[in-house]
Structure 1
Amino acid sequence: MAFIPVVLSLLFMLFAEQGTGKRVIELGSRLSPEGNQSSWASSSGHFAFGFYSQGDGFAVGIWLVNVSPAENTIVWTANRDSPPLSSNSTLQLTKTGLLFFQDGRQGQVLLSNFVDVTSSASMLDSGNFVLYDDTHNTVVWQSFEHPTDTILGGQNLSINAKLVSSVSNSSHSSGRFFLLMQGDGNLVAYPVNSPETGGDAYWASNTRGSTFQHLSLNVLGFLCLSGPGNLHCFFNHSVSPGMKSQNKTSIYRSTVDVDGNLRLYEHQLEGNGSSHVQVLWSTPLKKCETKGFCGFNSYCSIVTGHAMCECFPGFVPSKSNGNVSLDCVLAHSKGSCKSSEDAMISYKITMLENMSFSDSDDPYWDSQMKKEECEKSFLEDCDCMAVLYLNGNCRKYRLPLTYGRTIQNQVAVALFKVPSGIVDSSTPNNSTLKPRIIVDNKKRLVMVLAITLGCLLLLSLALAGFIFLIYKRKVYKYTKLFKSENLGFTKECSLHPFSFDELEISTRSFTEEIERGSFGAVYRGTIGDTNTSIAVKRLETIADEGEREFRTEITAIARTHHKNLVKLIGFCINGARKLLVYEYVSNGSLASLLFNDEKHMSWRDRLKIALDVARGVLYLHEECEVRIIHCSINPRNILMDEVWTAKISDFGLAKLLKLDHSRMKNEDDETSKYLAPEWQKDAPISVKFDIYSFGMVLLEIVCRRRSIEMNVSSVEEIHLSSWVYQCFAAGQLNKLVKEDEGTVDWRILERMVKVGLWCVQDSPPLRPSIKNVILMLEGLKDIPIPPPPAETSLNKYS
């Protein structure tokens, strides 16, 4: 029979390379979770590499394809313990391997060969994802050399390599068990974080001292330990390829499952794309025999045929327990066991039969005695919380207790103590104080329960009365508020409906116009007994919609609350006339400050204004309940309050503006200077539209001039963004600030210029997110050299 290992070895060699037909993946190829391509399939279509859903995001891995994507079998995961990836993540094949991008920024190297030699990649039919160096015709990286919880046909688990189980069937992060191919030829399964000693192992191949160097699975389903001239198979697949139906294909995998058991699976793939999965072999582990199935101070037992974890008596689940195993802690303090001259808290003993603790945990005290003597010694030992009484031996254990489980017909009894009652200390002074358990009489117990229930009842009645008084007060306040004919502006109302007559009186018949913008004229007024100043905007050319739709839109606007946004106080609907009432911002618009005011602005003041505007945009884009794209950010819509804090106005009004009016603005309109190029191309509006407008405003803050100026010394200076880039590229930023050159903070100037140039790129993907804009302006993020604003080629930065 010596020829059998030789024959099997030849079969391993014969089929090791089966299924290596490859579909070449070129350099520069990309994957994204929700893009046109989220994975690369093997030539047969049985395997795929790419993004798959996990939790609230995505992970990158390899899976066995099923007709239903929800039933795909994950066989390998990259960076399995990293947080889930977002939907805007991207993978790109480069010379150094697979690079990971998020929000357009380069992140970690996902798969790397550590040298710039990658020429191509391929997802092989064997389930192996490979990076190639085509120049030297070699493989520089492959997933088969970095297994997670699975090996496939043609894959080996080498010496000191591990298969680590997954947390659950839906999460493929590292779980609680691992399988180790040891250097002594033994294949052993351990719980994670164990010292990898024999007492911690829950299964082994018992081949220690052999020459085995690999756990191998070939494409015919042979799962074997192999080494020089030696072979030991756990399972020999008896069905030869010739005996199978021609329209079926079998793929084999061996996996350390969530429960810690090693199993061999066969996936029978039908010609129509469906599949049938069966378990061909598994380790002979019974339920609860897997060490580490339950956590510290808990034990495993069989309940209605299922393995369940429970805390030992006197223990409760740990609050910090976040995994599927059960970690338990003492329900009381060990310090309560310490005796005194007066009294001590006593304990009663609870027993669990058929119990077993870890083989690797030796008792710190072991003595042969009767059970009654063992219990007495247990009660007197304050450092001991668990005892195992077995065959007349009293064994004391320290915490934590590990690998606890029940074993049928086990004669061992586990003893635990829990607080119970008061110890009677009325012993003579010349006698040794010994704990004695007494039981309180029933009358005292009834009295304690009656007092407790009475206190709870009184507390409940007091709480109910308090709640009722608050309710009545609120009802009275709102009733009074509702009946008031002239409410004015009260802090209790977040959005107040005004009558047209009220606003006409408060603005003195709309005589004091303070601003006129894209959405209409703004008038100053006062309201209430305190003559609170307000700004009333008369909306013009709004969309022809009903009163209900208009109220819905402004209610959404009213939910925004941020110190860098102008607060909406109320509204008025009077037939076709629609008005909005805002808080009054005293120092006018940013346009007046930049272009008409002689007020000196330090560079820290300019940076603060830019950050105020950016933080307001960040709130609109990412932090408010409904994402709002402003569509009209310009210096006239940015107001300065009494302490010179910038506040954005007119946000959320883009939906109220008539579409044809928006699209047919005259090119010389003030607003059109701040519109992104895609506005003229009828492209969908995104948050990058506001980034472009912000960039134009930022450059105007730097230079204190408008984005288009005809009264300049040269043609190059007409368009601000082009002129700023020319000065930046030539290293002549001093030309931008000739009038106040002596007080320039050059670091702030350069930082603001670079951020502004990134924001006004023609291509939306090149513009940074508003969060990155803030980080760059604050100096917390490096700023790459920006390309010319009109450059449309993709860049590595966005």
Structure 2
Amino acid sequence: MGFSFSLSLAAIFFLLSWALLPLSIVSHPVSTYSIHANFTATNFQFIDTYGTFLSSQNGTFKASISNLDQQPSHYYFSVSHADSNSVIWSANRNAPMSSSDEVSLTTNGLTVVGEAGNVLWSTPPLNSEVDAMQLLETGNLVLVDARNNTLWESFQHPTDTIVVGQRIRIGTSLQSAVSDVDMLPGDYRLEVTDGDAVLQWNTMTYWELSMDAKASKNSNVNVSFLEMNESGLYLLGSDGSTIVTQVALTYASDFRIGKLGSEGRFSISRFVSDNWLLEFAAPAENCRIPLFCRKIGLCTSKPLSASCSCPLQFRSQIDGECVPMDSSLSLPSACNDTRNTSQFNINSVTYIGLGSGMDYFAIDFMNPVRNGISLSLCQDLCSANCSCLGIFHGSSSLSCYLLENYLGSIILSSKPTNDYWGYIKVLASSSSPPKHKFPIAALVLLPSSGFLILTTFVILGIVCLRKNTLSKTGTAKWSRCDSSSSADLEIISIPGLPRRFDYEELVAATENFKTQIGKGGFGTVYKGTLSDKSVVAVKKMTSLGVEGKKEFCTEIAVIGNVHHVNLVRLKGFCVRARQRFLVLEYMSKGSLDRTLFGNGPVLEWGERVEIALGTARGLAYLHSGCEHKIIHCDVKPQNILLHDNLQVKISDFGLSKLLSPEQSGLYTTMRGTRGYLAPEWLTSSAISDKSDVYGYGMVLLEIVRGRKNSTLQTWSDGISGGDGLSTSSYGSETRSIYFPLCALEMHEQNRYLELADRRLEGRVTSEEVEKLVRIALCCVHEDPALRPTMANVVSMLEGGLPVGEPRVDSLNFLRYYGRRFTEVSRKEGSNEQDEFGLYDPSTNPTSETATNGSYNSMSYLSSQQVSGPR
């Protein structure tokens, strides 16, 4: 009986094993790397292996029916890198499948079929019957015939990724996905042309491989394909060996991928120790990605990042889109062949200006529709074109660019030569003012007095027309500079003279100079509103070195043509007898000293870095980007102005001496502000752009600290936690502090964090403070030759150059300055030095005398000396 029972159990086990055998077979990969025809698979069928039914010979890649976002109908038949699960190719990206939809391999090809029998994706008709499907160790999925000839391969039909050994030929492209979990095709493409590889958004190019900073061009032969291998990315000629353009990568790697991300950036990464290491990314700047800040969003570059806001006259909606501030204005939609374009009534079209210094991602890669035309004609071209949504117009080149069909983000340009003005097309409300009937009284009076009235209006019209013609902005060759008296009626030939305002215009704009918003060595500044409602700053000049009318107009012509996003723009001028007025763009936040030293909200560290960077860019442009080198000579927080979004602009730059390249080392006239004057100002040494670098370094230290460099403050000498700069008098000594000396001493002790503005309350790291302090100390070297150029300062702030190492032997003069400041403070019994800061020595102490403690005497410099005539 025992034997019979055992036999029965064995029979049952045998039967169960046969019943479960099909399930165990289909729950695992059918083959290592090859599957023969007449095969079907679903995700549900291979659920135990996460949909995987095919692997490459060494297991590097796998083919599976997988789900990326756990949605029930978001399955894709794809090839992935096994270790990282990174998808390198997908078949049905346009038509996601369900877990029960089938992948079918027949002798006719490969097909993805829905439950209802509908074809979601298939290979094209093939030349012969399919024998097998293979997944190669390269990641290439191939269909072969009985003789192992390749009939079809996934490498020739890429999605958004290229791997080592894969070629992207002319006419083939990578196309981004909608998101990381949605494989539907997005709006970005990496296209290979016969001359280059380009990134496109819709149909607009925004990056070219040959223009990338990391690329090098080797040949001018036609491109045949793009290939990535173990050493880099290459555009190759038809022979497969001639390199047209290349991006060499630092490390050799057997496995790396190049992927066009859903955000529009093409990147190359290699897989090392279970991690992806980024090797290359393009575009490198976030603001060069078309929709980084969404439609019409204003993108401002920052070190390793970017910030988004809405341009002036636009506001942000709840969904983050920027729309006109004026609710009566709306953004039109572009037309196409199937739409009725009558909605674009030219009479209802108007334009919102974006201001100067703006850029657009596509301008570098598109041709203007017209050259040499005025702004109004450019706008007319856009108004008549229903596809046009905005324009960019070159103020000097007079080139007209139309932005058609799509609008991307606007870029706050950092280009020193950018002179484009952007305008967004908007539609005004359809309501129009009521029409007025012609007055009956006029019909009665016209026969008797019409001729006299008409004659009077004609005469007045001719006078006004001539007056307006002579005072136009731009590059008119002949301009009247002064019309205040009969002695000044001669015409002066000065190209590029900006708009001349009548004195009466400025009186009306400023309400008889009612609201004073600033005062300095060169005059007083008033707030004004022009007749077109634009707000301006009107500077009434005093203490000018240039007294002659022609000389003044010549300098104004040069200043008026200096355009940079970080320089205050000169809108016009006025000359009345011996009075001189400048009309400048208005900066709503005022000067940096008010924001930095005032009692308002504290500037965050990131904002301080942006202010430092903007100031450096503006000075770099003055020194090396202008036709005439301009040395500012008075770099200080009062001359650094801020707008609503803390956009930085330097003012008063045009009031310094203008130098030709031959004169750049010959300027020795005293001017500036104590506390920011370089040591060479007080000797017979030549003044150069390095004098501005010194002033910038002093300003940078004040940005770090949030207070003036020369103030009375409590000092704890390591008591109460070792904080050298303290606002508490507990366990501390109140004494005068010369902050540049503190910065030098803390630098020598690597105690950088103690130098930061205490109001930041730990929202800044020691490394961040160290970077700015070291740059500042390099800028204030006693020897001008040791100071970096402003262009190098910009590169150090942006991370393009390593931060310099301060030379202590050229900074020892700060120890003397600090002691002299303390002595003067005690003698005067003052809690704060005046606006000019430190009393500078009359001669420049050498490093040797600074070390020995023997110094020359200090002379007092009056405000007239430091701010007076050049």
Tell me, yes or no, whether TM beats 0.5.
no
TM-score interval w.r.t. the shorter chain?
A: 0.3 to 0.5
Could you state the TM-score of these two structures normalised by the residue count of structure 1? Answer: 0.40
Structure showing greater radius of gyration is 1
